[in-house]
Structure 1
Amino acid sequence: MMNGTAITRRGALVGIGGGLCALPALGAVARGKPPITTQDMVRPPRLRNGDVLGLVAPAGFVADRFGLDEIGATVRAMGLEPRFSPHLTARDGYLAGSDEVRAKDLTAMFADESVRAIMAVRGGWGSARLLPLLDFAAIRKAPKLFAGFSDNTALCLALAHNGVASIHGPTAATSWPPSSWESFRQVAFEGALASYSVPAYAGPNLFGRGPAVKIFHRGKARGRLLGGNLAVLSALVGTPWLPDFDGAILFLEETNEAEYRIDRMLTQLALSGILGKVAGVIFGQCTHCENPDGGYSNLTVYEVMDRRFAALGVPAFQGLMIGHVAGQVSVPVGVMAEMDADAGTLRLLEPAVV
């Protein structure tokens, strides 16, 4: 994808010491955790009209106060009240303030009992840097719905590793066409057992309309829904923050990556053993995933996927509206789901919220 102190729910300080110097000790603790199963997952409360939505910047910043005005208007159009964290427009290079500042803002939102749910304002890069600075045990005891995508995949996966469901879906600054809003509303407000399908393709061909699904291996599968941005997921391999992918349905999305880079990241997932564990694979959208210098000798991104996923022998397809695309859907992370590669569909078997 090209593109020091934490606060518990009750407000008490937990020692982070000098910030990054605490990484090894925290990592060692996380490695001792037993794998979380679907039976261990906790689901945060659903959203209701009038609820307060906490807005955070775990990675990149909002350019100016006018961007905040637009975000606030979007949240109010959802029937929610925006609560801005203090450092959304802060800048530390490409980050919205230091790691400690961003972690403190996020932790404060989890701690604020008047905040019902939390949404990232944007992605970028930097969410993974916060993982050792967050108290996931406290979050699990009083869970809140977190929503975001792209770089925010790091937080969704870390929450799943700690047994808390979240949503991989639009950020607050993303365009929100009706289809995206309806998908988020069903999952976050209604707790619906939503279904997702590859949109029909209307093109200038002899047979008119036809499915845009690309099937790499046919069949159906059930499993825990885990995944997100490919680059972020592959970068977390070898860290203590990834959930157990045994029997999972792996969903992926990516943007602005050349075909050979997609190949490299999928190879990383294969060599690490993750691809060999999953029950099925869904690749959503790979937006602008072409090498401009590729030429006719290059593999297409779909050939890369086909060669990698067909060999797994599990159901696998591409085409759901997951990722960097207008009209993207909201997909829960950590809940049970069923996929049908032949039909190009995904169906939730349990809600993301209670």
Structure 2
Amino acid sequence: MRPDLTLPPKLTAGDRVAVVSPSFAAPGMFPAVHELAMRRLRDEFGLEPVEYPTTRRLGATARDRAADLMDAFADPGIRAVLATIGGDDQLGVLPFLDPAVVTADPKPFVGYSDNTNLLNWLWNLGVAGYHGGSTMVHLGRGGGLHPVSAGSLRAALLTGGDMELHPVEVFSEDELDWGDPASLNRAAPTRPSPGWTWHRPDRVVTAPTWGGNLEILHWNLAADRWIRPVEDYAGCVLLLETSEEMPSAPEVFHMLRNAGERGLLAQFPAILVGTAKASSLQRRTASDERDGYRAEQREAILRALDHYSPEAMAVFGVDFGHTDPQWVLPYGGLVTVDGPARRVIAHF
């Protein structure tokens, strides 16, 4: 595995942080949610957000979004970079980024979904980041911050230390309409959590993480230029989760099969699989459909593992990725997956 990942330093109260939109500029479409998130960043975390020209600019070019990222990383007064939300075209931003700017002053980058592109790009440079914590989704959450999401983001940015993850009792995958002012004051409806399911829990693995959103990883594999030789991932913990687009079980298997044929799946002794999102604003599903979707996805992943990585340990239903609450996890930092004790510990 990569031996040289740099863990950017923690922040202190009063530090300035960049708030950027490397993908979709959701703050421009839903400014009330964005402003709520910025107030909470100040009031709950003691950090001072700094916006950039494309933070609220809908339709900004990839070159302009890249310029904002480079300005944020180049500014010594900015001590972290937070993505507002994901999207679907961040891959086109990567060619306009300058590795030398980032490695001169490594800073924590926080995001997930389409921001898997940037997390992977930073990982390739040897800079660790954090998977999760997009400001619009979890800082702008209707009804208040969730202690799981806020606590793990605080550990990532400010306090550090070890944090043991645990299954949550209830969760939500039902999105609220940000265009409705009432969404600012109420939380989305919840349902009982599916809990964790362990597969081959016969070992203890402490290792750097890599991975993220499966659909984005699949794009990176297709582009090829952003993926390192498979041996560089040997021994890492794979993070794996799917988005609100809800890829079917056959699609999930095919994406993992492609990674397996490349020799990539065989590199990971342990895999954390996020609670699969099974409903969205565009596609509301019934309760039994959601349970069935998650079961079918789990079987698709197990089918791929049985063929390409039969000894791998996996934990399904971990609350990270496109779910609420969301554990913010190290990306390139260490995670311990303790199968015999059924424990997962994030080392911040």
TM bucket (normalised to shorter chain) is 0.7 to 0.9
Shift of 1:107: 0.7
CA RMSD across the alignment: 2.8
Q: Which residue of 225, 230, 236 maps to 1:240?
A: 225
Shift of 1:222: 2.9
Whether 1:225 aligns to 2:209 is: yes
Q: Within 2, Cα distance between the matches of 1:226 and 1:169? A: 13
Contact 1:257 1:289 in 2 (8 A): no
Structure 1 pair 342–254 and aligned structure 2 pair: CA distance change class (3 A): farther
> Residue in 2 aligned with 1:270?
260
The structure that has the greater radius of gyration is 1
Letter in 2 for 1:328: Q
Q: Within 2, Cα distance between the matches of 1:340 and 1:309? A: 19
Q: Within 2, Cα distance between the matches of 1:310 and 1:136? A: 37
SS at match of 1:276: helix
Contact 1:187 1:194 in 2 (8 A): no
Q: Within 1, Cα distance between the matches of 2:72 and 2:297? A: 39
Query: How many residues align structurally?
Result: 303
Structure 1 pair 60–37 and aligned structure 2 pair: CA distance change class (3 A): same
> Residue in 1 aligned with 2:334?
336
Letter in 2 for 1:37: R
Give CA deviations for 1:96-133 in whole Å, capped at 9, x if unaligned: x0011100011111111111111000101122211111
Contact 2:271 2:315 in 1 (8 A): yes
> Residue in 1 aligned with 2:250?
260
> Residue in 1 aligned with 2:37?
71
> Residue in 2 aligned with 1:10?
none
Shift of 1:346: 2.0
> Residue in 2 aligned with 1:19?
none
Whether 1:127 aligns to 2:93 is: no
Give CA deviations for 1:254-293 in whole Å, capped at 9, x if unaligned: 122222221221112212211011121110121117998x
Contact 1:320 1:344 in 2 (8 A): no
Whether 1:83 aligns to 2:83 is: no
Q: Which residue of 75, 78, 97 maps to 1:115?
A: 78
Q: Within 2, Cα distance between the matches of 1:157 and 1:198? A: 27
> Residue in 2 aligned with 1:300?
296
Q: Which residue of 255, 279, 283 maps to 2:273?
A: 283
Contact 2:270 2:314 in 1 (8 A): yes
Which structure features the higher share of helix residues? Answer: 2
Shift of 1:81: 0.8
> Residue in 2 aligned with 1:162?
125
Contact 2:329 2:346 in 1 (8 A): no
Q: Which residue of 43, 46, 68 maps to 1:105?
A: 68
Contact 2:194 2:317 in 1 (8 A): no
| Structure 1: 5+ residue stretches without partners | 1-35, 203-208
Letter in 1 for 2:8: P
Structure 1 pair 210–167 and aligned structure 2 pair: CA distance change class (3 A): closer
Q: Within 2, Cα distance between the matches of 1:222 and 1:326? A: 26
> Pairwise mapping of residues 198-209 of structure 1 onto structure 2 (< 5 A)?
198-199=167-168
SS at match of 2:318: coil
Contact 1:254 1:323 in 2 (8 A): yes
| Structure 2: 5+ residue stretches without partners | 172-191
Whether 1:50 aligns to 2:14 is: yes
SS at match of 1:339: strand
Q: Within 1, Cα distance between the matches of 2:274 and 2:193? A: 18
Shift of 1:46: 0.6
Give CA deviations for 1:71-96 in whole Å, capped at 9, x if unaligned: 3212112211110111122222xxxx
Contact 1:217 1:310 in 2 (8 A): no
Give CA deviations for 1:115-162 in whole Å, capped at 9, x if unaligned: 111100010112221111111232112111100011101101110111
Q: Within 2, Cα distance between the matches of 1:335 and 1:72? A: 26
> Residue in 1 aligned with 2:24?
60
SS at match of 2:70: helix
Letter in 1 for 2:218: S
Compute the TM-score of the two structures, normalised by the length of structure 1.
0.78
Contact 1:217 1:309 in 2 (8 A): no
